[in-house]
């Protein structure tokens, strides 16, 4: 699969931020690593930056043990394997609450139950083909948000179903790290887990200037920012079949949009809204969906 556009944003932004900070005071300390399969970084201008970053790393590790599809023993993987998860962690419940809200607001265009479809398309791509219509229709029967039952005592899935949090998890991790750092009394921090979450602004003053791959930039202060692109990652080498699936058709969303950027009070919400936005047919629909969430706004919508 090709490198995602959102990771390109993270790389270019990392190069852009540091000179501005350095001119104001000594260079910021930067921690980089992985979070839910994506590049992650935290930029801090603080004498205890390394110790703080270590605590943030421990939090990422803990969250991956809950939300990651890449770990066989994570809470999400166990739910997908067994179809039921007793006493689910609060963080998983909170993520699914965001998913439910965006599912409703997007009239079903955002649906974490597409994981079986995603596996179908990925396996077909490895074999050098596209899945057939009959295969897609068969797997579609194993999807649908109505097959998920969420409660504080247990989460259950209809037989054959599985969830993915790829459209919300990276943003949610940024939010949880922000809570950890804020509880320590820290501010003027930018967290980048593939989506951005700012605590305050730059240490030297002003908002964090987040550059967009499609052009332009957004000043970020005490807010979150997420970007999605239908063809940012593709199943095929030719770049025809994007990784964002339309849960209604079982196929990649039609690439009517080149890139969509949303800001919101939380990165988890911004992440989910941009994923859903890629399946929206027009800007009026985009704005109507986003307007249903306090503090969320459309920052950029570039047509393909």
The domain ranges of the chain are 5-303
Q: State the chain's mean pLDDT as an integer.
A: 87
**Run of H or E including 38:** strand 38-44
**CA 87/CA 97 separation, integer angstroms:** 16
Please write the tens of the pLDDT for every residue from 85-101. Answer: 999 999 999 999 999 99
**Phi, psi torsion values for 129, nearest 5 degrees:** -145, 180
Residues of the chain with pLDDT > 90: what percent? 72
Are the beta carbons of 161 and 113 closer than 8 angstroms?
yes
Please write the tens of the pLDDT for every residue from 249-271. Answer: 999 998 689 999 999 999 999 99
- Output the CATH code of domain 5-303: 3.10.520.10
Contacts (Cβ under 8 Å, ≥6 apart) of 81: none
pTM, full prediction:
0.88
23: pLDDT confidence band, cut at 50, 70 and 90?
very low
Please write the tens of the pLDDT for every residue from 66-79. Answer: 999 989 999 999 99
Are the beta carbons of 42 and 189 closer than 8 angstroms?
yes
**CA 157/CA 146 separation, integer angstroms:** 9
What tokens appear for 292 in the block? 């249903």
Mean pLDDT of 4-31: 38
Higher local confidence (pLDDT), 68 or 51: 68
Q: Is the pLDDT of residue 12 over 70?
A: no
**CA 223/CA 137 separation, integer angstroms:** 40
């Amino acid at each position: 699969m090709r490198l995602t556009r959102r990771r390109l944003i993270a790389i270019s932004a990392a190069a852009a931020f540091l000179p501005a900070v350095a001119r104001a005071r000594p260079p910021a300390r930067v921690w980089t690593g992985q979070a839910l399969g994506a590049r992650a970084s935290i930029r801090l201008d603080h004498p205890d930056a390394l110790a703080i970053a270590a605590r943030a790393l421990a939090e990422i590790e803990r969250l991956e043990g809950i939300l990651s599809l890449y770990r066989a023993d994570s809470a999400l993987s166990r739910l997908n394997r067994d179809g039921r998860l007793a006493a689910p962690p609060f963080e998983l419940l909170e993520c699914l609450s965001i998913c439910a809200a965006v599912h409703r607001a997007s009239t079903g265009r955002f649906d974490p139950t597409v994981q079986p479809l995603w596996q179908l398309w990925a396996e077909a791509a490895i074999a050098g083909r596209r899945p057939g219509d009959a295969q897609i229709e068969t797997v579609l029967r194993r999807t649908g948000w109505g097959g998920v039952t969420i409660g504080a005592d247990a989460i259950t899935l209809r037989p054959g179903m599985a969830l993915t949090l790829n459209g919300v998890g990276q943003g949610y991790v940024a939010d949880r790290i922000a809570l950890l750092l804020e509880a320590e009394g820290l501010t003027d921090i930018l967290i980048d887990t593939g989506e951005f979450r700012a605590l305050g602004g730059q240490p030297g003053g002003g908002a964090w200037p987040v550059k967009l791959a499609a052009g332009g930039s957004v000043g970020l202060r005490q807010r979150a920012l997420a970007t999605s692109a239908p063809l940012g990652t593709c199943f095929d080498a030719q770049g025809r079949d994007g990784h964002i699936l339309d849960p209604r058709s079982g196929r990649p969303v039609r690439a009517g949009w080149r890139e969509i950027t949303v800001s919101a009070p939380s990165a988890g919400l911004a992440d989910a809204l941009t994923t859903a936005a890629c399946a929206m047919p027009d800007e009026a629909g985009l704005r109507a969906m986003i307007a249903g969430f306090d503090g969320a706004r459309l920052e950029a919508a570039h047509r393909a």
